[in-house]
Amino acid sequence: MSHSSQKMRKAAAHILAVDPAFESIIDQSPPCNIGRKKYQEVSHFQALVNSVIAQQLSVKAADTITARVALALNDDISPTSMRDVAELDLRTAGLSGAKTRTIKEMAQAWHVNEYDFTDPALSDHEIVDELTKLWGIGRWTAEMFLMFTLHRLDVWPTGDLAMRRGWEQIHDLPEFIDPKVLDREGEVFKPYRSVAAWYCWRIIDGDSTTW
């Protein structure tokens, strides 16, 4: 599913209307690019691999390791190539032991199950529930998949540290915000919570090949 610039401008206008603190970052940014065509060529499997790599890393570090993993697999990020590649090659590329296991087991699962998340009738909850059955795949990874692979516009990943830091910066908060508090704060952005989250990330990380 792709989203037009017009729709993204509508989302930005809604965010600004309910929370004027976003004015500066919205003015300084291009339209949110969730769902843009240039990001639609990655398979669901590769997108999940990228999200696993990015777990608990800065955007810059994740981008670097993602590129190294792609190089180790000759740009063939598929269940078969990931299943067959030596664990040492993944560790040399910068993956931790836990992430290597997660990706290896995910590749094996892809050979056993026919995963298909393209049905728009599938709810966010159903997709998160299915993905988190895989070893090492938690809620954060599933939410990144919803946003940047399935292009769902109403995801609010309060478990993401960079998003919370961005929220704090946008609102000039003197202390860290509790994820549960931020969860309630996000209600006003429906149905564009993913876009609001994107602006929170952008004020921290700027442009990134990740998105």
What is the share, in percent, of the chain residues with pLDDT greater than 90? 73
pLDDT on residue 108? 92
Whether pLDDT at 211 is above 80: no
How many whole angstroms separate alpha carbon 129 and alpha carbon 81?
A: 26
> C-alpha distances in angstroms, 85 versus 70, 107, 156?
11, 11, 35
| Joined tokens for residue 182 | 């931020």
The tens digit of pLDDT for each residue in 29-71 reads 999 988 765 445 678 899 899 989 988 888 789 989 999 999 9
Specify whether the CB–CB gap between 63 and 210 falls below 8 A.
Answer: yes
pLDDT mean over 2-11: 90
How many whole angstroms separate alpha carbon 90 and alpha carbon 73?
A: 9
**Where are the domains positioned within the chain?**
5-35+154-205, 41-148
Whether pLDDT at 1 is above 90: no
39 Rama class: left (phi>0) / alpha (psi -120 to 50) / beta: alpha
Instruction: Decide which of 3.40.50.300, 1.10.287.110, 1.10.1670.40, 3.40.50.2300 is the CATH code for 5-35+154-205.
Output: 1.10.1670.40
Same fold, 5-35+154-205 and 41-148: no
Q: Band the pLDDT of 120: cuts 50, 70, 90.
A: confident
What kind of fold does domain 41-148 have according to CATH? Endonuclease III; domain 1 (1.10.340)
Q: Helices in 73-138 by DSSP H: which ranges? A: 79-84, 87-92, 97-112, 124-131
The tens digit of pLDDT for each residue in 135-145 reads 999 998 899 89
